[in-house]
A and B are shown apart, each in its own frame.
Chain A
């Protein structure tokens, strides 16, 4: 119900019952927050959103206070401003003063708040925090000294990913965010999705950086450094490019990486096409099989999802497609096929995968992805790291000539680009299945894409005489709920389920540039769709290079190495 309230002596129309914070923000009032996250229930932990309400003796936290008709609110009275400044000063009381050396320097919410509140000196001294940083994980680094206990990581890990790898330990001034028994993240239930990095306001959570490794390889004359860029990474780079000519980002990125000293720049789209073809082939096999006990087939491209399934739902692992992820198909193609064809020793090739994913750093350490101790992917750069790398070399993507990607892996079909967002992969696989199972030629392939990127959807595709059910979910909470629901209802009309661990799929990946809120995946999907329109082929098997490789080799998980090229 609409009602009127008075804010800073102005009358506003707002919805009764919604939180005061969201009402104020909708009307353009700037209210600082730290612990607040859209779509999550408020906790009122940081208290930065305090406002003065007439008739209340204390300041109230606007995030956790519902709008009441006729209330009179002051958002920037002396008292409010003073309280907020003190709060920031208290947050800084045990924060290290090493901004200069901090990964988040310039992108830190605490730094912004301190500047906004005109904090000029350390007013309170609470002493240094003694907890050691945790670099035990292959993908996520924790530095408790920089933690402000806002609880955003704890909440996303528990509520969106249902993993609870980190939680509040102890009480009062001794409270820390830590993994169970103060052991490292490497032995926790962490699924390496990196969503905690995305929501962390400071540098308490960062990715395990591969920048130095890559720099060392670039400086090593023996090594041929080959970059493999995923289409999703190109989408995120495109999003951040300011100038209008966004269509040449691939070529400009290629040119920039060549200037760094890359010997080759490939597109992982070819590998993604192969991945889609193999999943579709396995799906067709299952649909044609007699007992159909392994249906539905669950997608296998997301390492976080696989880690979750192995750790939490081992009974589901038999349903997961046995295909390497696109990144590792690309890695093995380069290290075996390309190396052999071009007579280069495998050890002399250094593959760098560029993706919006943190979990790929973890995936690169899997035993099945290494061969005689050599990983198929030597280093994984997140999109954030890619920008840091380019910046340190003084390269600006806005002003650089264009260069074509290197043959033979230089193309991706629209199907490969679709792997970047939730629902897209299901469509690619459906299209390929349509191709394999030979739907009658009169019928056109139709696939209804979801309207909202974060919503769980299903669709049916008529292939020949069969109705094939496709479903897609993003985030572990959605996946778990959906799979439970499916199991309980004993439905058998869903044949393929695409699971992506991050909200909105890779478009909301843990390795994306840090953004607040959950709106970015939507924007990135839009860019993807634009890119798809320009792709040379629509379906995965249209990519002639990919189709040829698919014919020649087996890409089932664990098989590629045994099968000599």
Chain B
């Protein structure tokens, strides 16, 4: 096994079917996304078909199958944010980042994920970037945010 999963398996010693989702979450938290190899190993450990696990993992938007960018945008699309214009923001953000929701750009700088309610409806619409929250977003502030990141990254480069 090239991926080290033993320490995660240890948390679930009974290898039950219901351990699947928590295990996948733990793995994703640690490694950023799920790989084929990981799914095969989990399948072996829990004695569940690889296809079944893939079916479960694709059912939930939270599971990813590719790496995220250095700046991972999570756009809230809960009810309050939707009413506050999250759809327009999403379109704008896709244009600014040049990727679609669920994608990571080629140089690994940006990735965009659309999530359901983050839990700060009073501050809608909002975006989380690398666990920092940007609230009451407008089209202008969104552009400013992305520009700022690009500028910073260009400096580094």
Contacts and interface: CB of A to CB of B under 8 A. Distances in A.
Interface residues of A, number: 15
Contact of A170 (B36, B39, B53, B59): B59
A83 interface: no
Contact of A167 (B36, B39, B54, B60): B54
A167 B49 contact: yes
A158 B51 CA distance: 10
A189 B39 CA distance: 14
Nearest to B56: A167
A75 to B, nearest CB: 35
A188 B53 CA distance: 13
Contacts of A189: 49-51
B54 A181 contact: yes
A166 B58 contact: no
A170 B60 CA distance: 8
Nearest to B35: A181
B55 A169 contact: yes
A171 interface: yes
B16 interface: no
B49 A164 contact: yes
A163 B49 contact: yes
A187 to B, nearest CB: 11
B52 interface: yes
Interface in A141-188: 158, 163-171, 179-181, 188
Interface string B39-65: 100000000011111110011100000
Contacts of A164: 49, 51-52
B56 to A, nearest CB: 9
Contacts of B52: 158, 164, 167
Interface string A42-59: 000000000000000000
Contacts of A179: 51
Most buried by A among B36, B59, B60: B59
Contacts of B55: 167-169
Most buried by A among B51, B52, B58, B59: B51
A171 B50 contact: no
A168 B39 CA distance: 16
Contacts of A171: 58-60
Contacts of A170: 58-59
A168 B49 CA distance: 13
Contacts of B59: 168, 170-171
B35 to A, nearest CB: 10
Most buried by A among B49, B52, B59: B49
A341 to B, nearest CB: 48
A123 to B, nearest CB: 28
A123 B51 CA distance: 35
A157 B53 CA distance: 15
Contacts of B49: 158, 163-164, 167, 189
Interface string A428-442: 000000000000000
Contacts of B36: 181
A311 to B, nearest CB: 11
A155 to B, nearest CB: 13
Interface of A: 158, 163-171, 179-181, 188-189
23 contacts: A158-B49, A158-B52, A164-B49, A164-B51, A164-B52, A165-B51, A167-B55, A169-B54, A169-B55, A169-B58, A170-B58, A170-B59, A171-B58, A179-B51, A180-B50, A180-B53, A180-B54, A181-B36, A181-B39, A181-B54, A188-B51, A189-B50, A189-B51
Report, nearest first, the 5 A-B pairs whose CB atoms are least far apart. A164-B49, A167-B55, A180-B51, A180-B54, A167-B51
Interface of B: 36, 39, 49-55, 58-60
